[in-house]
A and B are shown apart, each in its own frame.
Chain A
Amino acid sequence: MLSVRIGFSPLNDAALVVLAEVLGCYAAEGLDVSLSREANWSNIRDKLSYGLLDAAHVLATLPLARGLGLGPTIGQIIAPMALGANGNSVVISSKLKEVFEGMGASTLLESARALRLVIQHRRAVSEGKVTLAIPFNYSPHHFVLRHWLAAGGVDPDRQVQWVVLPPSRMADHLRDGVIDGFCSGSPWPQMAELNGDGVVLFSDPAFWTLKPEKVLALRGTWADEHPEEAVALTRAVLRAGQWAADPANANAMAEVLSQKIYVGAPLEAVQKALAPGGAGLILDPQTTTFPWISHAKWFIGQFVRWGLTEGDHDFDAIARRVYRPDLWRQAAEPLGLSLPLDDEKDEGGAAEAWTLPAEPNDILMPPNTLFDGGVFRVSRA
């Protein structure tokens, strides 16, 4: 058996990587997997680079940052599948929440506009900048918050102070007034709310009903040297997805995740995040694990929009080198999943369930809309 080292961060959206171990899916695919719980994303990134990890649960943006040459760069990281959709929440201080309510802001757009007024007011009375925390610079969290702020007329570069903090400490900083809000993966926002340190303002689905968030990452050279195992590993995680998608397994899943060696948070917080109205995490392998090139391009577009990279890369080539739908198809076919005909789709603009052309059967997809009504349309040749 090939031994494979897989890293993960203590978050609910590591579910499929963790469950594949608990359910014996790795062993069933002939892989001897050892999981390693990591304290931060930098460590996962570097361990993947230096061959101390072969695979990992990572932010969907992390392999793309590497592909764009951002951060310490050594080697390639590829993404053969997504690990579900959604799972993050934005938490703000109770004080800010009261202000928003006082202004009658109930939608995301209204709350962003309300925040603009708060920022103007604070500047007028010489109070400090509004400070928001994210867990990592090159993260979907960062892009979600910036997109939301910009939609309300806030300049995220000049009018907001950004800090990177570990999710486990964000609640404390919010309570102490160091930050005004944060975005992080569950169950930490729910934990903050249960402890009375802040209030969830919105979760991923309210921003984008089917938001890409985490992917399975493989060290490029490892995947090159072990092409069959790379597919087998992807298949093992997809199998875990088939189990996790069954609502009958929801309680068992929450109990596994809350264990100390995995997420290590109180069961109540884990369940609150997974419940309807929580962080909206969807783990269905058929509709949420395909590594869409259009997701990669949306993220790359955000890197460019916020000045994190120059605009002179071949974005199509980078997206296709990093996100690997071909590997997903090889892994998924024997499991009886349907294979999308295309690697890209429109992101946003689908308020109702819709049909995605696929083989052997078309796939019934959930609604796919962004809060501001925006549509990210792929150009087809």
Chain B
Amino acid sequence: MQISGAEILVRCLQEEGVEFVFGYPGGAVLEIYDAIFRQDKFKHVLVRHEQAAVHAADAFSRSSDKVGVALVTSGPGATNAVTGIATAYLDSIPLVVISGQVATPAIGLDAFQEVDMVGITRPCVKHNFLVKDVNDLAATIKKAFYIAQSGRPGPVVVDIPKDVTQHRAEFHYPDSVHIRSYVPATRGHSGQIKKAVNLLLEAKRPFIYVGGGAVQGRAEAEVTELVRMLGVPCTNTLMGLGAYPGSDSQFLGMPGMHGTYEANMAMQHCDVLVAVGARFDDRVISVPSHFLSRPKKIIHIDVDPSSISKRVKADIPIVGDVKLVLRDMLEQLKQSGGKPDAAALAQWWKQVEAWRGHNCLLYTPSDELIKPQAVVQTLYEVTGGQAIVTSDVGQHQMWAAQYYKFDRPKQWLNSGGLGTMGFGLPAAIGAQLANPNAQVACITGEGSIQMNIQELSTAKQYHTPVKVLALNNRYLGMVRQWQEFFYGTRYSESYMDALPDFVKIAEAYGHIGFKVENPSDVEPVLREAFSDKLKERLVFIDFRTDQSENVFPMIQNGKGLDEMDLPPHMRDIQQVPFENNRDYGNMC
């Protein structure tokens, strides 16, 4: 029996086991919306802006192991989705985004609501398709899901002209896909793994650097086993938080621009570095030349060969699925019977503990002003470290990453690659739908939240009881911090004038709003927000925080990992050249 293209699409999504489609209707996709109406296998979530549809689908994926699905109309719907697609692309998140297109005879004629979606998204998708014939539709959707989640994951756009959704064809969903030109790596080269194992056993100052690839590749168990078996310190990048438990003593905190003193010093001074699904981003190592100014051997494991030796040359490159590579590595490590150099490790840990002893995340508490760090720490306590936390972009994002200890992967969702303000709230909605019983908190700023605040309406419609914590410093805080450091405190356009009353906004959308101005109210209000009484409600908390607080440590552009701007209580120690540090002995 022949069915319409729209019906075929719906059947494909059902075959893929899709539970939620996040979208927004329009002329080009009306046929699809009609077909969705006539089925009840998956739910459609109507967002208020297409950017939010993609972020919500993205976070649905980030907080589960499924592919996120978004549906947008042609033209403005499609262009609104681009920021979300680029966000997912830079963070390697598996998504299938379906966009409507004008009918095939109208393509290329500057038709109403026509935009070259395949052209516009080409630089920010893993792959994209324009389906010109209804007979190709099912196979294309199958390919899209396969490409999105295999190898290095990423977003795939399928652009479907309106007439293709109307044309009829037999439905046949392929069981499997074979694309001769696309064969993602799986097992790592055993010879290389052997070399890596030997190098690790010889290391005097080993360090393990874990990125988002370990989260996406679900390699947390293997990462944890490796770190513990070797007894070495490790770090998780912003995207890797949770891959190794954040509350464990072998974890030194996040590295990079706003990383901890101990993680950055260890990264700079180690002799063998294992990068696991991490790509030496400029926000992590700043400039490669400085990072390499201390000789070290680098073992780099990644599913994407182009991530290896892109910024920093790897001595031992291992291309493969991180989980499988680490398994092979652990196996070889066990079989080799070798043991790490205990004496050297003890020395190394002594140094690491000395660095850690400075307590670089210490801040000055206050009875008068709400310290943003304290809000995050209190959230951690109130939620018992169990919440799924989304964030937007800015100072609050860095404080969230620094002060909430993530023990599981897929618990921390943020736009690390593109740095998209407006991600937090729609992401929280997507995460809540994927994890109906979880506590979901969105840590945001008064600037960021206003980029997609209309999603409070979506949250109302779908009863997603997320807790929004706005760290409201009345500034585009991160911009203000840079202007303070690098532009002579000329706060050009970083002051958020004419701020709305967020409590009233929350109430206007049918939610609960609190305004908190006193540090002593932070904990009670958070307890109330997460209490059973408000379990079913979205709560928006407007924390009026200390306006002058800055994120430390900080590495300025072009500076090395051991040239951090440190918080006030550490300003002196930065002066002590590392080599003269007695604790370090003659290991350098």
Q: Do A and B truly interact? A: no
- B: residues with CB less than 8 A from A are none
- A: residues with CB less than 8 A from B are none
